[in-house]
Amino acid sequence: MRIAVLSGKGGTGKTFVSVNLACVADEAVYVDCDVEEPNGHLFLKPEITKKESIGVFVPEVDMSKCTACRKCVDFCQYNALALLKDNLLIFNEVCHSCGGCILFCPEHALTKKEREIGYIEAGKSKKVSTLSGCLHMGEVSGVPIIKKLIDKMPPNDAITVVDCPPGSACVVMESIREADYCVLVAEPTLFGAHNLAMVYELTQLFRKPIGVVLNKCLKGDNPSQAFCKENQIKVLTKIPYDEELAKLNSEGFVAVRASEKYHEIFFELLKQIEQEGLQ
Ligand code: SF4
Ligand code: SF4
């Protein structure tokens, strides 16, 4: 079963939920798709067994063939090409690798060149296999790295937990592509409810079954819980704000490995998700 864990913004406890779900399973795969800021490894501390470079192609020009006709410049919708005194300039960082300029060049002056944008690492942390992606600083899109991570996931009879990037942009869409079930993590504030609404809409567009984990709950109003009630969304569990947990997290411990209480909470949560996913 493939479980994607999402939240509308960073800092809601998405990685906390993902890591602990993976660690409470008998055997699981944890996939860190938060490629701009992967931090599941800070808790899991996996032994890295394999590292692979991830690249995209960009155009390369042979100036001996280029006649400065501008056709490629006019074609590129991303302003990744410019002509300066008959010299073709290529801005690799904003190129989206569509390949159009290469096809359009009447002189065949453009060819493909590979450029590294990041890497993925495979590892092992006790019974959890890990796959983690990292986008180099300054790069525009982590989608190619996430695509690779999703393609590397094992068949869906194993418990696989995908730690998605925060928000609801294309990197999140790519991360939930193969998910059987989505867990939305939300904080008990108005802002938290607004972020929850954002990811809820996204999962509905993809017609994914969902449940919500209400995290850092305090006494009093919980706008995220109210949103779930209004929209008839299943609340899987409520995790109270807890100083002991904050301490475990800040020291890089996996809560289910360090605390019987959290082992029980996440054991029940995983059981519920598996039951919900089967319906
Ligand atoms: S490959 Fe596409 S995005 Fe990149 S420079 Fe060529 S036309 Fe522009
Ligand atoms: S389309 Fe080809 S020939 Fe024309 S400016 Fe671009 S690279 Fe040069």
177-198 pLDDT, tens digit each: 999 999 999 999 999 999 999 9
Atom 2 of ligand 2, nearest CA residue: 105
Interhelix angle 223-230/190-205, rounded to 10 degrees, is 30
Domain-embedded: residue 14: yes
pLDDT at 23: 97
- Ligand 1 pocket test, pick from 90, 97, 110 with the greatest ligand atom count within 8 Å of Cβ, gives 97
Residues 167 and 219 in one domain: yes
What is the identity of the amino acid at 155?
P
If you measure from the C-alpha of residue 114 to the centroid of ligand 2, how many angstroms do you get, rounded to a whole number? Answer: 20
- Residue 122 and residue 126: Cα distance in Å, rounded? 13
| Per-residue pLDDT at 157 exceeds 80 | no
User: Would residue 80 count as lying in a domain?
Assistant: yes
Residues 81-109: b if buried by 16+ CB within 10 A, e if exposed: beeeeeebebebeebebeebbbeebeeeb
pLDDT 10s digits, 9-37: 888 999 999 999 999 998 999 999 999 99
Ligand 2 closest atom vs CA 71: 1
Q: Are residues 28 and 151 in the same domain?
A: yes
Q: What is the CATH number of the domain that holds 220?
A: 3.40.50.300
Residue 103 in any domain: the answer is yes
List the structure tokens of 220. 């009093």
Same domain, yes or no: 162 and 74: no
90 with 197, same domain: the answer is no
Does the CB atom of residue 81 touch ligand 1 within 6 A?
A: yes
Phi, psi of 236 (to 5 degrees): -75, -45
Residue nearest to atom 3 of ligand 2 (CA): 66
Categorize the per-residue pLDDT at 5 as very low, low, confident or very high, splitting at 50, 70 and 90. Answer: very high
The CA-based diameter of the chain, rounded to the nearest angstrom, is 72
Confidence of residue 154 (pLDDT cuts 50, 70, 90): confident
Same domain, 153 and 128: yes
Residues 87 and 194 in one domain: no
Establish if 186 belongs to a structural domain. Answer: yes
One domain for residues 92 and 230:
no
Q: Rounded to the nearest 10 degrees, how much is the dihedral formed by the CA atoms of 95, 98, 104, 108? A: 80
As for how many domains the chain has, the answer is 2
Q: According to the model, what pLDDT value does residue 156 have?
A: 73
Pocket of ligand 2 (CB under 6 A): 61, 66-72, 88, 104-105, 107, 109-110
Q: In terms of domains, do 160 and 85 share one?
A: no
274 and 251 together in one domain = yes
Note down the domain range covering 205: 2-54+118-278
What is the pLDDT at residue 176?
94
Q: Domain for residue 113, yes or no?
A: no
The string of DSSP codes covering 206-271 is TT--EEEEEEEE-SS--HHHHHHHHTT--EEEEEEP-HHHHHHHHTT--HHHH-HHHHHHHHHHHH
pLDDT exceeds cutoff 80 at 269:
yes
**Neighbour count for residue 31 (Cβ, 10 Å):** 29
Residue 136 lies inside a defined structural domain of this protein: yes
Q: Is the pLDDT of residue 93 over 90?
A: no
The confidence score (pLDDT) of residue 139 equals 85
Instruction: State the distance from the centre of ligand 1 to the C-alpha of 100, rounded, in angstroms.
Output: 6
Does residue 159 sit in the same domain as residue 263? yes
Between CA 271 and CA 268 the distance in angstroms is: 5
Say yes or no: 74 and 208 in one domain.
no
pLDDT of the residue at 258 = 94
Q: Is residue 68 part of a domain?
A: yes
Q: Is residue 200 part of a domain?
A: yes
The model's pLDDT over 215-227, given as tens digits with 9 standing for 90+, comes to: 999 888 899 999 9
Phi, psi of 116, rounded to the nearest 5 degrees = -75, 130
Is the pLDDT at 80 greater than 80? The verdict is yes
Residues 22 and 129 in one domain: yes
Rounded-to-integer distance, Cα 177 and Cα 168, Å = 13
Q: Structure tokens of 139?
A: 């790069």
d(C-alpha 212, C-alpha 234), whole Å:
6
Per-residue pLDDT at 191? 94
This prediction's pTM: 0.89
Give the CATH number of the domain where residue 86 resides: 3.30.70.20
Q: Compute, in angstroms, the gap from residue 87 CA to the centroid of ligand 2.
A: 10
**What mean pLDDT value characterizes the chain?**
94
* pLDDT number for residue 276: 84
Buried-exposed string 194-207: b where 16+ CB fall within 10 A, e elsewhere: ebbbbbbebbeeee
